[in-house]
């Protein structure tokens, strides 16, 4: 079977759950009851060591320091013998926020973006908002409101679109035609806190319509999944008994495009491996 080098760029602002997903994914790969499992040993588990320890005790891990950027190389194999290498990064989400605020991209990020075969974009919908406007919530009496310069705020979906546009530009990728590569997977993280049922694609389109439209016009087949890496909120102080006794690998799920759930959180990665294998 062919071996594939899969370099995944995980893009996410602060506090979207990058480290938790990384740690849970790693745990699943090591325990080996999913479609994907570790094929040998990972190059460096250090970035996720603390997070895995915390989760084993049923507590949430701390925030990743802003300046950290560590890549961990994981050799994997699936149940059908397809093997690949996954390069999974862990970093402080402030780096992404800083790029948007300063409108410039560090050279190191440029090479990462350019060499990635797949992009995974993590969005935590619960922390984003869409403000009502004059159309969605009309003003009852017109004429009383006067034109005024209110402090300008970038809408959340505008900011996320700008981020993708910046990354596409520095990677030297044009958007004339809908793109196939690098592939884009949008993961809606902390799905459990949304309290919704249905297709992740529809929920993205409902909550961030302009962003969803941009993604679907820029990529030929963007994938949108729901992800709950922890399945329930954990405290940073008080250990969760269930977690401690059953183990963190028993928690977490993926929501498929049709709204169905599976416990195999390695699935979005496995999908990328099989997609590339077929090319």
Residues that bind other proteins (CB under 8 A): 67, 102-108, 110, 130-139, 142, 145-155, 157-158, 161-162, 165-166, 169-170, 175-178, 205, 209-210, 212-214, 216-218
Min dist CB 14 to other proteins, Å, is 18
Min dist CB 71 to other proteins, Å, is 17
In the bound state with other proteins, the residue whose beta carbon lies nearer, of 80 and 102, is 102
**Secondary structure (3-state) at 58:** coil
Min dist CB 44 to other proteins, Å, is 22
Min dist CB 96 to other proteins, Å, is 14
60/40 Cα distance (integer angstroms): 28
4/271 Cα distance (integer angstroms): 13
279/271 Cα distance (integer angstroms): 13
180/66 Cα distance (integer angstroms): 32
In the bound state with other proteins, the residue whose beta carbon lies nearer, of 141 and 278, is 141
Min dist CB 113 to other proteins, Å, is 10
Question: Which residue pairs from 130-134 have beta carbons closer than 8 angstroms and sit at least 24 positions apart in sequence?
Answer: 130/155, 130/156, 130/157, 130/207, 130/208, 131/155
Min dist CB 211 to other proteins, Å, is 9
The helix (H) or strand (E) run that includes residue 217 is helix 209-218
272/279 Cα distance (integer angstroms): 11
Neighbours of 123 (CB within 10 A): 25
In the bound state with other proteins, the residue whose beta carbon lies nearer, of 85 and 155, is 155
**Tokens (6 digits) for 8:** 């995944």
Cβ density class 204-239: b for 16+ within 10 Å, e for less: bbebbeebbebbbebbeebbbbbbbbbbeebeeeee
In the bound state with other proteins, the residue whose beta carbon lies nearer, of 106 and 259, is 106
In the bound state with other proteins, the residue whose beta carbon lies nearer, of 145 and 278, is 145
In the bound state with other proteins, the residue whose beta carbon lies nearer, of 127 and 274, is 127
Min dist CB 65 to other proteins, Å, is 12
In the bound state with other proteins, the residue whose beta carbon lies nearer, of 81 and 172, is 172
């Amino acid at each position: 079977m062919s071996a594939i080098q899969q370099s995944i760029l995980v893009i996410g602002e602060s506090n979207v759950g990058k480290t938790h997903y990384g740690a849970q994914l790693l745990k699943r790969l090591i325990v080996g009851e999913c479609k994907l499992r570790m094929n040998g040993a990972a190059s460096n588990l250090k970035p996720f060591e603390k997070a895995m320890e915390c989760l084993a005790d049923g507590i949430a891990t701390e925030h990743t320091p802003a300046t950290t950027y560590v890549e961990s190389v994981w050799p994997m194999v699936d149940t059908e013998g397809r093997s690949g290498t996954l390069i999974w990064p862990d970093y402080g989400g402030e780096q992404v926020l800083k790029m948007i605020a300063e409108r410039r991209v560090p050279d190191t990020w440029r090479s990462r973006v350019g060499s990635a075969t797949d992009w995974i974009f993590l969005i935590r919908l619960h922390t984003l908002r869409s403000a009502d406007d004059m159309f969605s919530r009309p003003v009852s009496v017109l004429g009383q409101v006067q034109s005024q310069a209110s402090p300008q705020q970038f809408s959340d979906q505008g900011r996320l679109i700008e981020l993708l546009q910046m990354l596409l530009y520095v990677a030297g990728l044009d958007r004339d035609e809908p793109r196939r590569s690098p592939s884009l997977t949008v993961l809606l993280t902390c799905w459990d806190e949304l309290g919704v049922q249905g297709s992740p694609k529809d929920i993205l389109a409902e909550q961030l319509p302009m962003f969803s439209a941009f993604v679907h016009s820029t990529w030929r087949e963007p994938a949108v999944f729901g992800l709950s890496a922890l399945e329930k909120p954990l405290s940073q102080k008080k250990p969760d008994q269930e977690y401690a006794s059953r183990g963190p690998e028993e928690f977490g799920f993926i929501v498929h495009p049709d709204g169905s759930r599976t416990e195999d959180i390695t699935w979005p990665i496995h999908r990328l491996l099989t997609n590339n294998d077929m090319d």
